A and B are shown apart, each in its own frame.
Chain A
Amino acid sequence: MTRTNELLWSISAILLLIVVWWFGFSHTKFIADPLEVARALPQFLGDPETWFHMGVTFWRVLVGLGGGILLGMASAFAIHRSPMAHQFLSVYVSFALRTPSAIAAIMALAIFKRDEIGYMAVVGFITFPFITVGLLDGLRSADHKLDDVAKIYRVGTLRHIRDFLVPFLAPYTFSALRNAHALAWKIVVVAEIFGAAKNGFGAEFNYAFDYFLLVELHLWLLVFMALVLFAEYGVLRTVERRVFQWRAQKG
């Protein structure tokens, strides 16, 4: 598919979404008028409060996901290297994979009360097993032929990690990261709502929902989606394209 075709399909999908939205507005009482939302959008975007709350949520995702990545990487390497760690840590990975996000959020509220660390801990706890499982797949399919090259040419440990291992694991890392990233945004909202946060997107969304402020509810949703899509396509995918530019075939 050419780039123009891709763009056309994406635009068609967005237009269809607007039609569905319009249809929903015309036939129910719970969906706001798209035109009214569009009219309120500039003022909403110009309000510093909006960006304060989105910033709070973004920070929770960033720190929580960062923690999940570090924890996931550490547990993947430990499980791969040591049968004992495999037995021990696999229990935690399975447990985290099967814990519903809402339960994790309630437990975090019970443990951390309304402390910031609680929201981040929920994101880290729910995302780390996805990183572990993704990286383990990579470690298990390691190319030992390249390891032989490293040994024969006496490549040191640090260079081996930097030039052999990390690039080899990059596709697995990015794949796991994409999943964990998408999950992190969803979980942070659950954590903010169930954790009765005072600020952040989840708190504001919950407030708008409780008071039936339909336009505000949709505005928060639109800005939230835009931020998540920007993080995914504007940042993650751009970095990914740059990292994998070596894959381009002979022209």
Chain B
Amino acid sequence: MNKSSDIVLEVKDLGVSFEDQEAIGKIDLSVARGEFIAILGPSGCGKSTLLNVLSGLLPPTRGTVSVEGRRMYGPESEAPHVGYVFQEHRLLPWRSVKKNLELVLAASSVPRQLWDDKINDILEILHISRYKDSWPLRLSGGERQRVSIARALLVEPSYVMMDEPFSTLDELTARTLRQEIIDIWQRTGVTIVFVTHSIREATFLADRIIILTRGPANVDDSYSVPIDRPRDYEEPRIGQVEAEIVKRVLGVWELEKT
């Protein structure tokens, strides 16, 4: 495994409110370097708000977020280096794949002389080398999402956030990409915070699943997935754990018939 004991991301007593509306109740969370965590919660529970806070876009109303031991949102704090894979690719359609990647590299701490090698390597890993000079709109949905993953990994991020990145893809492409994400994670040791609705997806991918309550979000449980790797998406053990988590969240998400 890639885990080590140092903490990359630490969230303490986090709360977010918009005027009178509370979006996040109270979240405490810590993520170790190289860990793959999944955040699981029902629609509208505040997952996107949480990701906005963790990505540096939204200062919390209460609490602290520390990345690599440094506080975010402090008076003199600097935005952290993070990668973000969105639900939709969010590439610049008017820039080639290579230019899209160079654009984020220019704002990173990666020296310019390493750009070409890094771009070639990551495109090779994601099997999209031949699209280096293509326009994003000429790629399929899966290929665009691969470029988006490449962009997130290139900037040598403290952690990569993924917000339901496979939800818009067909099942076969999604399955292939899930396996590739695991391969890349194991190969690079990158820390991943993966948000999903799918309990099976979370069980297949993550070391640990953070289960959120209905909104305003609170952490209901931090569940360590008791399945060794490598995992198979169809293996019965995944189905059993999935069923166990479903049973657990039915009550928490108030979905049980009364």
Contact check: which of A145, A153, A250 meets B137 at CB < 8 Å?
Answer: A250
Check B246 for interface membership: any CB of A closer than 8 A.
no
Report the separation of the CA atoms of residues A61 and B244 in the bound assembly, to the nearest whole angstrom: 74
Query: In angstroms, how far is the closest chain A Cβ from the Cβ of B194?
Result: 16
Contact between A148 and B137, CB atoms less than 8 A apart: no
Taking A163-B103, A167-B92, A167-B94 as contacts, is the C-beta distance between A152 and B57 under 8 angstroms? yes
Q: List residues of chain B with CB within 8 A of the CB of A167.
A: 92, 94-95
CB of A144 to closest CB in B, whole Å? 11
How many whole Å from A142's CB to the nearest CB in chain B?
Answer: 14
Contact with B along A166-186 (1 / 0, CB 8 A): 010010000000000000000
Whether A151 pairs with B140 at a CB distance below 8 angstroms is no
| Closest-CB distance, A168 to chain B (whole angstroms) | 8
| Residue numbers in A under 8 Å from B81 (CB-CB) | 154
Instruction: Find A249's partner among B55, B86, B137 (CB 8 Å cutoff).
Output: B137
Determine whether the beta carbon of A250 is less than 8 Å from that of B56. no
A154 to B56, CA, bound (A): 10
A53 to B56, CA, bound (A): 60
B94 contacts A153, CB within 8 Å?
A: no
| Cβ-defined contact, A249 with B90, below 8 A | no
Complex-state Cα separation, A163 to B91, whole angstroms? 11
Q: Which residues of B contact A170 (CB under 8 A)?
A: 94
Q: Does A83 belong to the interface (CB within 8 Å)?
A: no
Nearest residue in A to B90 (C-beta to C-beta)?
Answer: A149
The total of chain A residues at the interface (CB under 8 A) is 22
B106 contacts A by Cβ under 8 Å: yes
For residue B88, which residues in chain A have a CB less than 8 angstroms away from its CB? 145
Asked if B155 is at the interface (CB within 8 A of a chain A CB), the reply is yes
- Complex contacts, B99 vs chain A, CB 8 Å: 163
Does B56 lie within 8 Å of A151, measured CB to CB? Answer: yes
**What chain B residues lie within 8 Å of A145 (beta carbons)?**
86, 88, 90
Question: CB distance A250 to B140 under 8 Å?
Answer: yes
Q: Tell me whether chain B's interface is mostly helix, strand or loop, or mixed.
A: loop
**Are B138 and A153 in touch, CB under 8 angstroms?**
no
Closest to B100 in A: A163
How many inter-chain residue pairs (CB < 8 Å) link A and B?
Answer: 66
Given A146-B90, A163-B92, A167-B92; A248-B56 close (CB under 8 Å): no
A-B contact pairs, 18 of them (CB 8 A): A145-B86, A146-B90, A146-B92, A148-B57, A148-B90, A149-B90, A152-B84, A153-B84, A153-B103, A154-B81, A159-B103, A167-B94, A246-B95, A247-B93, A248-B138, A249-B138, A250-B137, A250-B140
Chain B residues whose C-beta falls within 8 Å of the C-beta of A246 in the assembled complex: 93-95, 135-137
Give the contacts of A234-251 with B (CB-CB under 8 A).
245-251
Report whether B95 and A163 are in contact in the complex, using a CB–CB cutoff of 8 Å. Answer: yes
> Chain A contacts of B93 at CB under 8 A?
246-247
Give A contacts to B, CB under 8 Å: 145-146, 148-149, 151-156, 159, 163-164, 167, 170, 245-251
Contacts of A164 in B (CB 8 A): 92
In chain B, residues 100-142, which have Cβ atoms closer than 8 Å to a Cβ of chain A?
A: 103-104, 106-108, 135-140
Name B151's closest neighbour in chain A (CB-CB). Answer: A153
Interface flag for B79 (CB, 8 Å): yes
Closest to A146 in B: B90
Q: Which chain A residue has the least Cβ–Cβ distance from B134? A: A250
In the complex, whether B82 has a CB less than 8 A from a CB of chain A is yes
Q: Is the CB of B155 within 8 A of A153?
A: yes
> For the complex, what is the distance from the CA of A207 to the CA of B86, rounded to whole Å?
65
Tell me the complex Cα distance, A167–B107, Å: 19
Cα-based distance from A61 to B57 in the complex (angstroms): 45
On whether the beta carbons of B92 and A159 are closer than 8 Å, the reply is no
Q: Are B107 and A159 in contact (CB under 8 A)?
A: yes
Q: How far is B79's CA from A151's CA once the two chains are assembled, in angstroms?
A: 9
> In the complex the two chains form, what is the Cα distance from A63 to B158 in whole Å?
51
Query: Is A250 in contact with B139, judged by CB distance below 8 angstroms?
Result: yes
CA distance A249 to B139 in the complex (A): 9
Measured between alpha carbons, how far is A170 from B93 in the docked complex, in Å? 13
- Give the chain B neighbours of A154 by CB distance below 8 A: 79, 81, 107-108
Q: Give the CA-CA distance A26 to B139 in the complex, in Å.
A: 59
0 or 1 for each of B60-73: is its CB under 8 Å from A? (1 = yes): 00000000000000
Note all chain B residues with C-beta closer than 8 A to A152.
55-57, 82, 84
Known: A246-B137, A248-B135. A153 touches B107 (CB 8 A): yes
For B103, the closest partner residue in chain A by CB is A163
Q: Which of B57, B86, B107, B135 touches A155 (beta carbons < 8 Å)?
A: B107
C-alpha gap A231/B136 in the complex (Å)? 31
Given known A250-B137, A250-B140, contact A155–B104 (CB-CB < 8 A): yes
Within the complex, the shortest CB–CB distance from B147 to chain A, in Å, comes to 13
Other A-B contacts than A153-B155, A246-B136, A248-B138, 20 sampled, CB-CB below 8 A, are: A145-B90, A146-B90, A148-B90, A151-B79, A152-B56, A153-B108, A154-B81, A155-B103, A155-B104, A155-B106, A159-B107, A163-B95, A163-B99, A164-B92, A245-B135, A246-B94, A246-B95, A246-B135, A247-B137, A248-B135
